[in-house]
Amino acid sequence: MCKKAIKLLTILVATLGHFCAMAQNEVDSPYSRFGLGDLYSDQFVPTLTMGGIGAAYSDLYQTNLSNPASLAALQATSFELGLDVSYSKLKVPSTNESTSYLGGNLNYFSLAFPVINPVNRLLDRKSQDFNWSMGIALLPYSRVNHYSRREREIDNIGRVREEIEGSGGLNKVVWSHGVKYKKLYAGVSLGYLFGTILKEKSVLYRDLPLAFDNYSFNEASYRGFLLKSGLQYEFDLSNGKGAENIRDVKMITVGLSSTTGTRFRTLSTDFVALKGVTFQGLADEFPQNDETDTISYQTDIERSGKLSGDLSLGLVYRKGARWLLGFNTTFINGNKYENELSTYKLKNAFYVGAGFQYTPDYISYNSYWKRVMYRAGIQIGTDPRVINDEQIKQFSLNAGIGLPVVVSRQLSFINLGLNYGNHSGNIPIKESVLGFSVGVTLNNNLWFLKRKFD
């Protein structure tokens, strides 16, 4: 079974990786026009398929960066890779028009490990009250990819066509530390934000002969730092039985994580011009080559802004290695968002999530599927972006499985997830997404192992 799983993993990752590289910019998301675009979660496939219960979740072999405190639970070096494929459908309720897109993304790379190897302590028969782990990861922060066109009639001018397009996005490199003392976990992560967002706009006067059309673009490079901290505390409800048999462990973990609303800087190029009759709008591959009367052209313009902070609180209940139930709520301080590139404002938002994981028998010898982890979850709330004075409502329903794989006597995992989500409310365009995600976890407990010879 393991050899088949490894072969399946190799084919799946290679296929999805090639597809994501070719199609990652194909999905049109109309509301990525606002703020910094569509924000990505920093949760990996296991917690996403359980409704995003990352604040209080931890695992011995899988990384959870949504609360850096959870890193201290790691008992082996963990390399994580995540990919996804999504089918998106956009619908305009007022006209009943709809369109769809297919795309994919490489979501994250992560490497985390216990600085103090637990195997060394086991061989030395030392106490494991204290642990320290660290990790580094590359993740997307936001994505911008949208195109919209509007045509209208203006008295004495005639038909006017307005086009707006945006592309690009931001990424982050995160360096995290988690420490544990007995039942208390604490962690902090420092991130570096970087990326470029391009926005273009054209206004074409279709019925005015020899009219000059308007064209503008802004290309902004973003830089800044991110700071996240977290705490977790375990309450043992098993009356000491867990030390003898993991099947008898009953535990509640309470978790808290917070992202500080740090400042960022932008370095941008602004270009505004009048275009001649050959200009066809944003469909032109090289609009700068058309007949142009430049109004303004500025480079290296320095501006600044402030990110929205957030606060997450969660609770996870474990019963042995069979049941895991979790709840999570997150508050986003959107009112604190600032960006000198735009006058657009965000609002405070929140969402709640709940989910579970069920493993029939994690040490079953006669049935592989009894060792599989079955997951499901739901998430509902509001988005900080506002359209026509109405906040976007968001909903997602998730399900997935975790497939254990033994490679060179090391336990690893293939995590698969299926997601349905939508953006709704009193907004002009409804958006629904069906997504499939793959997360790969490769473990090794031999890092920093002190060899001993008799």
C-alpha to C-alpha distance for 153 and 343, rounded to whole angstroms: 27
DSSP character string of 85-107: EEEEEEEETTTTEEEEEEEEEEE
Going from the first residue of the chain to its last (454 residues), give the mean pLDDT of each consecutive group of 10, the final group possibly shorter. 49 48 60 92 95 95 96 93 92 86 88 81 68 94 91 84 93 96 96 96 83 89 97 87 65 96 96 82 65 85 96 96 95 95 93 97 90 97 91 95 86 94 90 94 73 50
- How far apart, in whole angstroms, are the C-alpha atoms of residue 166 and residue 430? 19
**Two structure tokens written together for 410:** 């090391």
Classify burial at 243, counting beta carbons within 10 Å of its beta carbon; exposed 0-12, middle 13-18, buried 19 or more: exposed
Strand partners, 377: 355, 398
Q: Are the CB atoms for 407 and 39 separated by under 8 Å?
A: no
Are 398 and 378 in contact, with CB atoms under 8 Å apart?
Answer: yes
Q: Are 435 and 397 in contact (CB under 8 A)?
A: no
Residue 287: CA atoms inside 13 Å, Cβ hemisphere, count? 22
Dihedral sign for Cα atoms in the order 449, 72, 316, 373: negative
Residue 231 CA to residue 187 CA, distance in Å, equals: 6
The predicted structure's pLDDT at residue 22:
44
C-alpha–C-alpha distance, residues 38 and 260, integer Å: 19
Question: Top-level CATH class of 2-137+178-194+229-260+307-444?
Answer: mainly beta
What type of residue is 444? N
> For position 453, what pLDDT does the model report?
47
Candidates 268, 340, 342; CA nearest to 304 is: 340
3-state secondary structure of 121: helix
Which pTM value belongs to this model?
A: 0.88
Q: Is 406 helix (H, G, I), strand (E, B) or coil?
A: strand
pLDDT score of 122: 61
* Close Cβ partners of 320 (under 8 Å, ≥ 6 residues apart): 246, 247, 248, 249, 250
Using CA atoms, how far apart are residues 325 and 358, in angstroms rounded to an integer? Answer: 9
Joined together, the tokens standing for residue 40 give 């990505």
Instruction: Give the number of other CB atoms < 10 A from CB of residue 408.
Output: 7
146, 32 contact by CB (below 8 A) = yes
> What confidence score (pLDDT) does residue 93 get?
85
Residues whose CB is less than 8 angstroms from the CB of residue 281 and which lie 6 or more positions away in sequence, other chains included:
161, 163, 202, 204, 213
Computed from CA positions of residues 24, 261, 226, 67, in that sequence, does the dihedral angle turn out positive or negative? negative
Instruction: Name the residue with tokens 């740090």.
Output: 262
Distance CA 304, CA 340 (A): 6
Inter-residue contact 53 to 377 (CB < 8 Å): yes
